[in-house]
Chain A
Amino acid sequence: MSDLTRKTAAELSELMASGETSSVEITQAHLDRITATDTAVHAFLHVDTDGALAQAADVDKRRAAGEKLGPLAGVPLALKDVLTQDGVPTTAGSRILEGWKPPYDSTVVKRLKAAGIVILGKTNMDEFAMGSSTENSAYGPTHNPWDLARIPGGSGGGSSAAISAYQAPLAIGTDTGGSIRQPAAFTGTVGVKPTYGGTSRYGLIALASSLDTPGPCARTTLDAALLHEVIAGHDPMDSTSIDQPVPPVVEAARRGDVNGLRIGVVKELGGEGYQPGVEARFHEAVELLTKLGAEVVEVSCPHFQYALPAYYLILPSEASSNLAKFDAMRFGLRVGDDGENDAEQVMRLTREAGFGAEVKRRIMLGTHALSSGYYDAYYGQAQKVRTLIARDFTRAYEQVDVLVSPATPTTAFAIGDRVNDPIAMYKNDLCTIPSNLAGNAAASFPVGLADEDGLPVGFHVMAPVMRDDLLYQVGAALESALADQWGGVLMSKAPELEVTR
């Protein structure tokens, strides 16, 4: 049997259906791969070996009994540590939640389990998803499998690193300002941020409630679509969940046809500050789409330049309130409870010890932005900018079906490069943030390696609300055309990781 960890989820599914292998074998192969490579990569915060094997055995038993199973039943997955899983440690990358085992499943996890997907463990992330490099994890950084000295992106660096290190074929990420798409770009994988409200936030430890969106990470467009279909759909537990059918994402990924599709290149997302190799691969991909029959025009979204400042007001404001519950009273870390200190002091000492620097920075910023006397100038004004950005999108979608841009201005940077320069770090998310503010669907697809550093470049596609299928249509078209050029997907160019035994 060839290496099971190199297979896509769709291939694994077929192998299990034909009886060539079992979920237990597949799961064990991935667990072995994690053991062999995670010392170097550090994608996982917790590996649930026993739970995963038990789940796999259960799927195998059900398959043997002739039960009709979903297409991803028995396929292993890496879960970002920001989603609750009943009885399994969930930290959101923070010291303040070390050792906490939630007593309930998030809706995403419920749906994964119902689909028979095997959850291997929880992946590393920037603390409370605040960051673009996974360096803000309280448990140490994750390394980019393409170059271990580089960051894998963030906040979902663990999930993207896990799939690009062949530790799992599938992963779940969450995207608040680019935390699925930017790591996907940096690791040469596919990352999709569904329409806000298209996937449930119930059980997702909130960063910014009005922006957070769980979504699929995979090595291929089809795998991402298959996973998307499992986790998407209305959830009565989430008031912001959209009560409409899931867009036909799998069908779109299988079709992969862009003939006649109108594609708008966002004028404002490029030029100064963008790495030449990133721009080169981006423009080649645009040309490729034109060759495949798409009509490409340039589109202006003049307010996108204000997306970053608006985002860094809205996110910290909501986060400062969402993170207030981490107070040492009901769960998690408690510091300074010596019988003398009162509850307020214990809260202050715990939050001081339990939160990292970036979390404190953003809580302080949000507290400031919401405080009386500043609300109108900051939070209120940022929400108006949000309106303007949404209007830019609406106008653009009157002319085109999808918008495109590079996913990130640069490729993956070196670990330690930007940790002390918050603003340089924030600028990673220039291209991805507008879609979070407007709530529409967006994704990053791998389109090659930058000439100057040989690192992956992501191609960003943005589609209207509930037209997530268009993302897959574009992604699949690019993927098959590029595979024809390269003789395989981009991931096949990734360097072999040194394996430790």
Chain B
Amino acid sequence: MTVVADVLPIDDALAQYDPVMGLEVHVELNTKSKMFCGCPTEFGAEPNTQTCPVCLGLPGALPVVNAVGVESAIKIGLALNCEIAEWCRFARKNYFYPDMPKNFQTSQYDEPIAFNGWTDVVVDGETYRIEIERAHMEEDTGKSLHVGGATGRIHGASHSLVDYNRAGIPLIEIVTKTIEVPGEKAAAVARALVSQLRDLLLSIGVSDVRMDQGSLRCDANVSLKPKGSTTLGTRTETKNVNSFRSVERAITYEITRQAAILSSGGKILQETRHWHEDTGITTSGREKSDADDYRYFPEPDLVPIAPSREWVESLRATLPEAPSLRRARLQTEWGFTDLEMRDVINGGAVEYIVRTVELGVDAAAAKKWWLGELARAANESGKDLGDLGVGPAEVAEVQKLVDEGALNDKLARQVFDGLVKGEGTPAEIMAARGLALVSDDSALIEAIDRAIAANPDVVEKVNSGKPAAAGALIGAVMKDMRGQADAAKVRELLNTKLGI
């Protein structure tokens, strides 16, 4: 069933209803081996080359817990200000699905390793405290390729092909408590939260957080209650919202969809919904039913995990500073104004600037590229900053070329355009697009001579004691060189020529 519901304009929706949200974020850890076996976790390997009896769920195989998986879970819990369980267990979540080898997911149920935490996110200069219900350990499923239908969709497929390379990769599921913020901020807060989680996970080094590879996946619960009411409405769970932008868009969409139904007297179905990045809507997945009886029970093949307090404290000691303190420190170090810092945070660029600055780039320059050229490219292509294929290393390389005088800002923008389009390295793009600055003095001097010859009136002005007029000559030279000259160099040569 993919009937598109009517939507109410967001302003009308928020005038009548307050949204209540909850997020479940699944993070794939960057461990070398899977959660319960020694298979590698490499992304993009040939199908079914990273499996063993354990992660294929073959009869007789048994799981053994990856210590680094547990360690990462504790670190994430600590970074989210959670309590760390003194004793906890794995549980089996029983349901049948072809890409889940054992037809149960080894997960945690009523005894998560981390619980009762919080994290503060900042949107438009306002701080919102998000309560964290729990963070627990579990495993990923395999991946199905749906064959015979349109565009690989499950609907209409004749059969599916399953690759179990991903099955068993460690996941941490982070679950928020209900989030209630002013309606007009709700979607932005959710986006900021996911963005902040990404930054946090990167900074503690437990995940590569490649959203384009699905290593951070988000499910968003949304319900509406009439303004002023305290009774929670029926919620929907929108699955696999896999970019920051999508988080914001999907939540906004659900608010407008549910508002349309409620305001026309309808009822919200408690169901799973699916987000469609291309059309920007959610569609009905599956109604919650008595088939959702997961029959959890303690995993008998694994023994309890009882992290010692010494271990927990030693992990706490490895954690970087808290996000709010860190943001304040970075702002001071970078010399950004409050407004500049706000733009950086809202743009989700903090970590990229940090890593770019680490590579020797001036903070202002780093901000310029990440919030200017790259943010614009991301926006145009509907991607997140991290998914552009341009990282801090590339930004630092381009800036170095600018600093060396091989590029100016205008040409650098074109290099970034080439990088985003996957045209190769900066050097290759410069060569292919013919972007290098002309550093050959003789060519510049010839152009200066042409400019002087063509603009006797300007030369006259300069000679009559108005050196500022030389700017017009510089402009002419730059135009002659089609922008591929270093303006400072041109000025220097021109001044020599004109004797000023």
Residue contact A321 to B64, C-beta cutoff 8 Å: no
Residue contact A330 to B56, C-beta cutoff 8 Å: yes
* Interface: B301 (CB within 8 A): yes
- Binary CB contact string for chain A from 327 to 339 against chain B (1 if under 8 A, 0 otherwise): 1011100000001
Residue contact B53 to A103, C-beta cutoff 8 Å: yes
Which residues from 116 to 135 on chain A have a C-beta closer than 8 Å to any C-beta of chain B? none
Residue contact B96 to A347, C-beta cutoff 8 Å: yes
Residue contact B295 to A325, C-beta cutoff 8 Å: no
* Interface: A201 (CB within 8 A): yes
Residue contact B300 to A102, C-beta cutoff 8 Å: no
Provide the residues of chain A in CB contact with B164, threshold 8 Å. Answer: 330
Provide the residues of chain A in CB contact with B465, threshold 8 Å. Answer: none
Q: Residue B94 contacts which of A84, A240, A321 (CB distance < 8 angstroms)? A: A321
Q: Residue B64 contacts which of A209, A237, A372 (CB distance < 8 angstroms)? A: A237
Among B57, B61, B158, chain A packs the most CB atoms within 10 A around the CB of B61
* Interface: B58 (CB within 8 A): yes
* Interface: B334 (CB within 8 A): no
Provide the residues of chain B in CB contact with A325, threshold 8 Å. Answer: 57, 59, 101-103
* Interface: A290 (CB within 8 A): no
- Binary CB contact string for chain B from 361 to 385 against chain A (1 if under 8 A, 0 otherwise): 0000000000000000000000000
- Binary CB contact string for chain A from 293 to 323 against chain B (1 if under 8 A, 0 otherwise): 0000000000000000000000001101100
Among A97, A204, A208, chain B packs the most CB atoms within 10 A around the CB of A204
* Interface: A343 (CB within 8 A): yes
User: What is the CA–CA distance of A305 and B59 in the complex, to the nearest angstrom?
Assistant: 33
User: What is the CA–CA distance of A60 and B298 in the complex, to the nearest angstrom?
Assistant: 48
Interface size on B, residues (CB 8 A): 32
Residue contact A97 to B53, C-beta cutoff 8 Å: no
Q: Residue B65 contacts which of A100, A239, A343 (CB distance < 8 angstroms)? A: A239
Q: Residue B60 contacts which of A206, A318, A320, A344 (CB distance < 8 angstroms)? A: A206
User: How distant is B58 from chain A, measured CB to nearest CB, in Å?
Assistant: 7
Residue contact A106 to B60, C-beta cutoff 8 Å: yes
Q: Residue A324 contacts which of B61, B96, B293 (CB distance < 8 angstroms)? A: B96
* Interface: B160 (CB within 8 A): yes
Could you list 6 A-B pairs, sorted by A, with CB under 8 Å? Answer: A84-B59, A206-B60, A325-B59, A331-B59, A371-B293, A372-B293
- Binary CB contact string for chain B from 277 to 312 against chain A (1 if under 8 A, 0 otherwise): 000000000000000010111001111000000000
Residue contact B62 to A97, C-beta cutoff 8 Å: no
Provide the residues of chain A in CB contact with B293, threshold 8 Å. Answer: 371-372
Residue contact A324 to B104, C-beta cutoff 8 Å: yes
User: What is the CA–CA distance of A237 and B53 in the complex, to the nearest angstrom?
Assistant: 11
Residue contact A204 to B96, C-beta cutoff 8 Å: no
* Interface: A238 (CB within 8 A): yes
- Number of inter-chain CB pairs below 8 Å: 103
User: What is the CA–CA distance of A359 and B58 in the complex, to the nearest angstrom?
Assistant: 19
Q: Residue A329 contacts which of B61, B162, B297, B300 (CB distance < 8 angstroms)? A: B162
Provide the residues of chain B in CB contact with A240, threshold 8 Å. Answer: 300-303
Residue contact A202 to B102, C-beta cutoff 8 Å: no
* Interface: B424 (CB within 8 A): no
User: What is the CA–CA distance of A208 and B65 in the complex, to the nearest angstrom?
Assistant: 20
* Interface: A205 (CB within 8 A): yes
Provide the residues of chain B in CB contact with A103, threshold 8 Å. Answer: 53, 58
- Binary CB contact string for chain A from 233 to 271 against chain B (1 if under 8 A, 0 otherwise): 000111110000000000000000000000000000000
* Interface: B47 (CB within 8 A): no
Among A104, A205, A318, A325, chain B packs the most CB atoms within 10 A around the CB of A325
Residue contact A327 to B96, C-beta cutoff 8 Å: yes
Give the nearest-CB partner of B103 in chain A. A324
* Interface: B347 (CB within 8 A): no
* Interface: B471 (CB within 8 A): no
Residue contact B65 to A321, C-beta cutoff 8 Å: no
* Interface: A455 (CB within 8 A): no
Residue contact A343 to B98, C-beta cutoff 8 Å: yes
Residue contact A321 to B295, C-beta cutoff 8 Å: yes
Provide the residues of chain A in CB contact with B158, threshold 8 Å. Answer: 339
Give the nearest-CB partner of A317 in chain B. B297
User: How distant is B159 from chain A, measured CB to nearest CB, in Å?
Assistant: 8
* Interface: B257 (CB within 8 A): no
Which residues from 83 to 98 on chain B have a C-beta closer than 8 Å to any C-beta of chain A? 92, 94, 96, 98
User: What is the CA–CA distance of A248 and B302 in the complex, to the nearest angstrom?
Assistant: 27
Residue contact B301 to A239, C-beta cutoff 8 Å: yes
Q: Which label, helix, strand, loop or mixed, suits the secondary structure of the A interface?
A: loop
Residue contact A90 to B102, C-beta cutoff 8 Å: no
Q: Measuring CB to CB, which residues of chain A are less than 8 angstroms from any residue of chain B?
A: 83-84, 90, 92, 97, 100, 102-104, 106, 201-206, 208-210, 236-240, 317-318, 320-321, 324-327, 329-331, 339, 343-344, 347, 367, 370-372, 375, 379
Provide the residues of chain B in CB contact with A317, threshold 8 Å. Answer: 297
Give the nearest-CB partner of B160 in chain A. A343
Residue contact B60 to A83, C-beta cutoff 8 Å: yes
Q: A240-B303, A321-B297, A370-B295 are in contact. Are A104 and B53 (CB under 8 A)?
A: yes
* Interface: B226 (CB within 8 A): no
* Interface: B405 (CB within 8 A): no
Provide the residues of chain A in CB contact with B53, threshold 8 Å. Answer: 102-104, 203
Provide the residues of chain B in CB contact with A204, threshold 8 Å. Answer: 60
User: How distant is A490 from chain B, measured CB to nearest CB, in Å?
Assistant: 34
* Interface: B391 (CB within 8 A): no
Residue contact B295 to A97, C-beta cutoff 8 Å: no
Residue contact B94 to A324, C-beta cutoff 8 Å: yes
- Binary CB contact string for chain B from 438 to 463 against chain A (1 if under 8 A, 0 otherwise): 00000000000000000000000000
* Interface: B63 (CB within 8 A): yes
Q: A237-B64, A318-B300 are in contact. Are A324 and B59 (CB under 8 A)?
A: no
User: How distant is B342 from chain A, measured CB to nearest CB, in Å?
Assistant: 47
Q: A204-B60, A375-B297 are in contact. Are A327 and B303 (CB under 8 A)?
A: no
Residue contact B162 to A238, C-beta cutoff 8 Å: no
Residue contact B301 to A102, C-beta cutoff 8 Å: no
User: What is the CA–CA distance of A144 and B92 in the complex, to the nearest angstrom?
Assistant: 39
Which residues from 152 to 172 on chain B have a C-beta closer than 8 Å to any C-beta of chain A? 158-160, 162, 164
Q: A239-B65, A321-B295, A339-B158 are in contact. Are A90 and B301 (CB under 8 A)?
A: no
Give the nearest-CB partner of A371 in chain B. B293
Q: Residue A321 contacts which of B58, B59, B62, B104 (CB distance < 8 angstroms)? A: B104
Provide the residues of chain B in CB contact with A329, threshold 8 Å. Answer: 98, 162
Q: A325-B102, A343-B160, A367-B295 are in contact. Are A205 and B94 (CB under 8 A)?
A: no
Give the nearest-CB partner of B65 in chain A. A239
User: How distant is A238 from chain B, measured CB to nearest CB, in Å?
Assistant: 5
User: How distant is A96 from chain B, measured CB to nearest CB, in Å?
Assistant: 10
User: What is the CA–CA distance of A324 and B164 in the complex, to the nearest angstrom?
Assistant: 17
